[in-house]
């Protein structure tokens, strides 16, 4: 058998890396753009059981590039579609018509409707948080976050609480995930909008992890409050494109994942005021195969190393912790979606230390965009495809 040439291997690697970041959306003819509803069947497909005892069930199908899933207390779900649509999915798999009242999104390239999470007081307030890309002047765009009250068929009392400033041109690197620390703060992850130097500029919000009060105001103990040369919203900086974030329920620490360029996807536990290096330090190179122009290497004084790094990029996206389930096979795990390598990554944890890695769902060949863990002990994921799916993963029995 003839071995593939080096140029062929480089081309395949480049295609996989680009696919992880881009995953383009057609907004001309799919239902995310038109608002037409084609509900999935109310009867989920029969579960399939893996050799290790893990069971996978298709809860819903026919979702158009779903980006995030939030688990509702009644057993249903909220799912964002990147083209700008928010839908309910029933516990029986029935997909609703588009909910009304969703903010207008800038659905180009990687932009659109992104994360959805339930407010910490959702049981009382019915409030949700949404992140999305919004248009600016002269073809610019930036990441934004809004809160809203969820009703049966739509949103009311929609209020934007955050805008990335300044807005920049280009269709890529918006992030974005939302997480709560349990102490009255909301964290918002973003990208640097493919403008590498902005990650190091403290007067710009691109490439920054932001920490706000739940109403969008700035906490007075944020690390750059009071500095004339820095934005007070910033928690940490030097990030590239953060598409995964979760709070560890065991420690209360915020963890985030971000795409490297070609190689160098990172997992970080960001500390206040710290610089995580992009684009000065990185384990990756340009998609062209050339060095990142600003990079000096994999480390530099005053810049934090990643908590964990993948030299070959999985294309990290949504993430969720699996904690507090003593005796469960997957207890003390961190799950991450992989877009380029089309899998769910399970990291075994001992405190903050990563002790092992396992790949799930590789045989399906689907881009995993988001991962959430339910109160029922199951793992839920959405696949970023034109015919996207909501999947339920039941863990194997503990041995």
Catalytic sites, residue numbers: 173
CA-to-CA separations, 395 to 244, 249, 339, in angstroms, rounded: 22, 19, 21
Tokens of 121: 């007081």
Contacts of 2 (CB under 8 A, 6+ apart): none
Q: Contacts for 26-32 with beta carbons within 8 Å, 24 or more apart?
A: 26/386, 27/83, 27/107, 27/108, 30/64, 30/83, 30/386, 31/64, 31/85, 32/64, 32/65, 32/81, 32/82, 32/83, 32/84, 32/85, 32/107
Tokens of 191: 């990208």
CA distance 370 to 351: 23
Are 69 and 93 a contacting pair, CB within 8 Å?
A: no
Tell me which residue of 343, 375, 372 sits closest to 357, measured CA to CA: 343
Are 161 and 147 a contacting pair, CB within 8 Å?
A: yes
CB environment 315-330: b (16+ within 10 A), e (fewer): bbbbbbbbbeeeebeb
Q: Contacts for 42-49 with beta carbons within 8 Å, 24 or more apart?
A: 42/90, 42/92, 42/93, 42/94, 43/92, 43/93, 44/92, 44/93, 44/392, 47/394
CA distance 181 to 346: 23
């Amino acid at each position: 058998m003839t071995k593939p040439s080096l140029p062929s291997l480089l081309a395949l690697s480049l295609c996989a890396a680009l696919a992880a970041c881009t995953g383009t959306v057609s907004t001309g003819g799919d239902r995310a753009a038109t608002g037409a509803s084609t509900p999935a069947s109310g009867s989920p497909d029969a579960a399939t059981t893996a050799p290790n005892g893990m069971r996978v069930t298709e809860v819903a199908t026919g979702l158009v590039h779903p980006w995030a899933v939030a688990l509702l207390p009644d057993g249903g779900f909220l799912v964002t579609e990147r083209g700008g649509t928010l839908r309910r999915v029933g516990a029986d798999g029935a997909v609703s018509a588009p909910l009304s009242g969703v903010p207008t999104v800038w659905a180009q390239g990687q932009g659109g409707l992104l994360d959805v999470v339930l407010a910490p007081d959702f049981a009382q307030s019915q409030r949700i948080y949404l992140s999305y890309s919004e248009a600016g002047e002269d073809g610019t765009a930036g990441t934004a976050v809004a809160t809203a009250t969820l009703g049966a068929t739509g949103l009311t009392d929609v209020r934007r609480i955050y805008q990335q400033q300044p807005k920049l041109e280009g269709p890529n690197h918006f992030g974005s995930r939302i997480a709560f620390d349990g102490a009255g703060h909301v964290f918002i992850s973003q990208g640097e909008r493919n403008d590498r130097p902005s990650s190091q500029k403290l007067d710009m919000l691109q490439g920054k992890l932001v920490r706000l009060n739940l109403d969008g105001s700035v906490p007075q103990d944020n690390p750059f409050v009071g500095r004339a040369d820095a934005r007070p919203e910033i928690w940490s900086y030097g990030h590239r494109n953060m598409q995964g974030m979760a709070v560890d329920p065991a420690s209360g620490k915020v963890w985030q994942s971000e795409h490297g360029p070609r190689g160098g996807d990172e997992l970080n536990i960001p500390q206040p005021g710290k610089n995580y290096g992009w684009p000065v330090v990185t384990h990756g190179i340009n998609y062209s195969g050339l060095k990142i122009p600003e990079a000096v290497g994999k480390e530099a004084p005053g810049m934090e190393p990643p908590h964990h790094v993948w030299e070959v990029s999985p294309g990290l996206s949504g993430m969720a912790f699996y904690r507090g389930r003593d005796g469960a096979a997957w207890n003390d795990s961190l799950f991450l979606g992989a877009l380029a390598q089309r899998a769910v990554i399970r990291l075994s944890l001992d405190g903050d230390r990563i002790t092992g890695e396992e790949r799930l769902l590789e045989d399906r060949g689907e881009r995993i965009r988001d991962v959430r863990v339910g109160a029922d002990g199951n793992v839920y994921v959405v696949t970023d495809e034109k015919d996207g799916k909501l999947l339920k993963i039941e863990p194997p029995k503990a041995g």
